[in-house]
Amino acid sequence: MLIGRHDEQRAIDDLLAAARRGESGALVVRGDAGMGKTTLLDQAAATGEGMQVLRTRGFESESELAFSGLIEALRPVLDDLPRLPERQAAALRGALALEASDTDVYAVYAGTLGLLSLTAERAPLLLLIDDAHWLDSGSAAALAFACRRLGNEGIAALWATRTTEPTSVVLDGLPSITLAGLTDDEALRLVVSADRDLSPETTRALVELTGGNPLALVELPGVLTPPQRDGRQPIEEPLPTSPTLLAAFGRRLGGLPEESRRLLLIAAAIDTADLTTILRAGALEGLHESHLEVAERAGLVVVEDGLLGLRHPLVRAAIYGSADPVARRAAHRAIAASLADEQSIDRRAWHRALAAAAPDEAVAAELEGVGSRAEGRSWQAAARAYEQAARLTPARGERARRLVAAAQAWSECGRNDAAEPLLRDAVRLGEAPALLTDAEHLLGCIAFLGGRTQESLELLTRAAERVPADDPARAARVLADTVEPWLSAGDTSRAEATAQRAWELSKGEGGSSEIWAALRYGDVLGWQGEVERAAELWLRAAAVSHPGDLRSLCATGEALFSSGDDERASTVLEHVVTECRATGSPGLLPYALHSLGLVEARRGRLTAAIEADAEAAELARALGQPRERLMAVRGLAWTAALLGREDDCLQHLEAAAAAWVSLGRDQNPDATKGMLALSVGRTDDAIRELEPLVAEPWAPADAIAARSFAPNLLEAYVRAGRDAEAEKMLERFEALADRSGRAASRALALRCRAALEGSVEHFEAALALHDEWRNSFEQARTQLLYGELLRRQKRRAAARVRLRAALAVFDEMGAVGWADLTRTALNATGERARRRDPSTVDDLTPQETTVARLVASGLTNREVAARLFLSPKTIETHLTHVFRKTGVRSRTELANKLRDSPDSSVALGS
């Protein structure tokens, strides 16, 4: 009988009802041990009539097996695997160890969503994930990814997790409820229903002292002494609850016969509830099923449907925690011995390791095998295996090697805090120069990321010196990573010398060392204003990148962007995005989409930029890529600033600031706020924000065509009448623009010159260059400045022509700030320009725009779903919205409408 929890049950009922209507959702139930989380999940399963139920849970364990939680959830629906896109099916088979394959972890995430939505096509689906704080990290990430991409499949996902545990990061931002203690009334009813014979005083004392924790309320009466039960003696304070409950369970365990306790210890040490498996291990210790009976009668375990359920996870903790180390090792030894089949190779290695009393090379080597199999599938599982393997390694050199492997794996999953101490141990133990290089190289990079520049320089310099002379590529890699620390230490000449050396060592090598050295050397030169030489190096990096390797191709696209070649940059990046979608692996997609967004923004295709960054931000969040998410959110802020959408921009900036903090970094100053101020006509604010960015040297990211703040600061100076400052800066910018030879930079320089001097000829020349550049947003900004000049010259008719043209573009793009500025100028010519009535506008969301574009390209809903890592049902819903908002009635009509337009949401009009 469930007591209380009315609000929680209603929330769960709503979730289930929505799933039955086809609307998916996820809900996280948080609460301390014993608060009633599992009870609520059970209740949901019982009320989920007509729904399919998939269930999994985490086990408390020393070991971590990649995707063990996921396989439990998906086992009943694996027959559907062949219906998934091939790459995802293969990745899932590999992850679930159904067959050996190169596992792409991101394809596993996508495949998880795919499999769940295929299942939900038969009937609404209830997914229950209990004790998520103990799930292996790969499973938690895959299931969380699926939950964040839910839409209209008819899936209800219910998670239970303890209040303060690591999974809270994976589940961050999903809707959640937190279980508090039962109310006094409810607690009273629970105690009475569990034990009628307690004295009223004792009952009241329990209610008060347990804080309404249901498990404590039910369990503690059983351990009270007779005088405590009838109220003659006060009960010891049973708070905090978990330790008290552990002690209570411990006392009950103490009353069991030895064999029962040994069999329970095996059940506690193994990470499955499967009775056959437990008994097989027990048999090796001479234990059998009858030894469970006493424990069952004592209410500590429940045997049902071939499963051995412990009364509560705290029972497991009590059993394991109270056993002496010798008995624990014996249990693990028995478990290892019972796991003979090929499928259990990783499990067996872990249990053998936990059974080892002293370092043992054979055991350590087996565990190292677990680590290398987990690499790429689950870096955390790999890290834990390597770390434990190192601990069990007798020989110093081997131990150091495994420590470095563990550290590299921790670093791969973003846990530099865990990596650092292992690396220090490795340096203490190690002798081989190659190993010391690896350790100090990584230590140096970690120190730099942690803001310890000086220390990082010492480490990296030493690492570079150690590299044997016959491995120049390795030395180049280390040196390339030393460039940024030198720059950040303010030593530009050392930075340049280091970059140059890296470049010389790697030139012609044709691999990643050459790419990185070229990129870093280009950065230093760009930083110093040596624009052409920088561009040459970036293009060189681009040329080295291998076309089949999407990661290097992405770097190619970035290099092209840095060199100012937007056309080719966008071609390359679009190719990367298309390939990521087609292969069904979203891992690189947020990064590639964001890079594409940068290019689109600079080409003036601002709606396309928003579309790319919006998808990148969502995907990065679901994939657990906080850095990529931050970049995408900053991209969204920048585009909103360009358009003069103040609320949007500030919202994104706030999200970005929070993301910076959670990454533990200082926020870089950037041009976003200044850009926004200019776009909404707050000229003085714009100058104040942008001026600090002008200080020499100009940041490398802005090195060539962009100099994103320069033309904007110039415009602000001109608008504020600060001509002298404008003149000084303009000369620098003109020199740069001339040298770059690009229409984009030259158009901007001419626009600024025209505005500063009030020169019609210069405006005409700028517009001629705009025809070449084909950036309608920047062209409209030039038209606005031109129109404003003509108005001041009292040439009203000519002014109106320019201003109307500008306004049409700004309105179409939703550049509200610029549109307002243009309207003000038009009004000053005597023309009443009406504001667009926002209530008639029903804009497509960025996601709807993406769906529309892909559908228009001739793909089916299922194909679109696979490319966007969403389910077909969700695509169907988006498409319905697209049809309603645009008045388009068929896919063919949509295709016709979009055929000739580069910028989909503009073509679809609103």
- Footprint of Mg ion on this chain (CB under 5 A)? 37-38
In the block, residue with structure tokens 């804080």: 211
CA 383, CA 418: separation in Å to the nearest integer?
Answer: 9
Q: How far is the CB of 128 from Mg ion (least distance, A)?
A: 11
| Sole binder of ligand ADP in the list 15, 28, 35, 809 (CB under 6 A) | 35
Closer to ligand ADP by CB, 58 or 430: give it.
58
Could you please report the per-residue DSSP string of 864-881?
HHHHHTS-HHHHHHHHHH
Instruction: Assess 39 for contact with ligand ADP (CB under 6 A).
Output: yes
Least Cβ distance, residue 33 to ligand ADP (angstroms): 5
CB of 34 to Mg ion, least distance (A): 8
Task: Outline where 603-700 has alpha helix (H).
Answer: 606-623, 626-643, 646-662, 672-679, 683-690
Q: How many CA atoms lie within 13 A of 412 on its CB side?
A: 18
Binding mask 157-196 for ligand ADP (x = CB under 6 A): ---------------------------------x------
**Residue 871, contacted partner among ligand ADP, Mg ion, none, CB below 5-8 A by kind:** none
Complex with ligand ADP: residue 3 or 427, whichever CB lies closer: 3
Cβ 133 to Mg ion shortest distance, Å: 10
E-strand ranges in 151-287 read 155-161, 176-178
Task: For ligand ADP, give the closer residue by CB, 216 or 389.
Answer: 216
**Between 320 and 869, CB nearer to Mg ion:** 320
Q: Which of 24, 25, 38, 97 binds ligand ADP (CB under 6 A)?
A: 38
Shortest Cβ distance from residue 5 to Mg ion (Å)? 14
Q: How far apart, in whole angstroms, are the C-alpha atoms of residue 155 and residue 870? A: 13
**34 is an interface residue for ligand ADP by CB under 6 A:** yes
The smaller minimum CB distance to ligand ADP, of residues 2 and 650, is found at 2
Supply the minimum distance, in Å, between the C-beta of residue 41 and ligand ADP.
8
Minimum Å gap between C-beta 41 and Mg ion is: 8
Give me the sign of the Cα torsion angle 11, 14, 20, 26. Answer: negative
Q: Under rule CB under 6 A, which residues in 204-223 are in contact with ligand ADP?
A: 214-215, 218
Total residues in contact with ligand ADP, by rule CB under 6 A: 17
Tell me how far CA of residue 870 lies from CA of 27, 94, 115, 117, 861, in angstroms: 19, 22, 11, 9, 10
CB of 24 to ligand ADP, least distance (A): 24
CA distance 47 to 122: 19
Structure tokens at 91: 């990745």
CB 431 within 8 A of CB 399: no
Please name the residue ranges forming H helices in 220-257.
Answer: 226-229, 241-254
765 binds, among ligand ADP, Mg ion, none (CB under 5 to 8 A by kind): none
Nearer to ligand ADP by Cβ, of 196 and 834: the residue is 196
Long-range contacts of 347-356 (CB under 8 A, 24+ apart): 347/63, 347/65, 347/271, 349/385, 350/62, 350/63, 350/65, 350/385, 350/388, 351/63, 351/269, 353/63, 353/388, 353/389, 353/392, 354/62, 354/63, 354/269, 354/328, 354/329, 355/329, 355/330, 356/329, 356/392
Pick one of 36, 48, 430, 644: the residue that binds ligand ADP (CB under 6 A): 36
* The one segment of 2-10, 248-256, 599-607, 721-729 that binds ligand ADP by CB under 6 A: 2-10
- Assess 129 for contact with ligand ADP (CB under 6 A): no
Q: Could you tell me which residues come within 8 angstroms of residue 650 by beta carbon, excluding any fewer than 6 positions away?
A: 676
For position 33 contacting ligand ADP by CB under 6 A, the verdict is: yes
Instruction: Give dist(CA 164, CA 136) in Å, integer.
Output: 17
CA-CA distance, 229 to 222, in Å (whole number)?
Answer: 9
Torsion angles phi and psi, residue 832, rounded to 5: -85, 105
Between 37 and 885, CB nearer to ligand ADP: 37
For ligand ADP, the closer CB: 160 or 598: 160
Stretch of 32-40, 113-121, 383-391, 512-520 contacting ligand ADP, by CB under 6 A: 32-40
Total length of the chain:
910
Is the Cβ of residue 215 or residue 385 nearer to Mg ion in the bound state? 215
Q: Which does 85 bind (CB under 5 to 8 A by kind): Mg ion, ligand ADP, none?
A: none
Q: What radius of gyration do the chain's Cα atoms show?
A: 32
**Does residue 228 interact with ligand ADP by CB under 6 A?**
no
State yes or no: residue 480 binds ligand ADP (CB under 6 A): no
| The binder of ligand ADP chosen from 31, 526, 564, 787 (CB under 6 A) | 31
Contacts of 303 (CB under 8 A, 6+ apart): 275, 292, 296, 309
Q: How far is the CB of 46 from ligand ADP (least distance, A)?
A: 13
| Helix, strand, or coil (residue 771) | helix
Residue with tokens 């009838």: 230
Q: List residues near ligand ADP by CB under 6 A.
A: 2-5, 31, 33-39, 190, 214-215, 218, 312
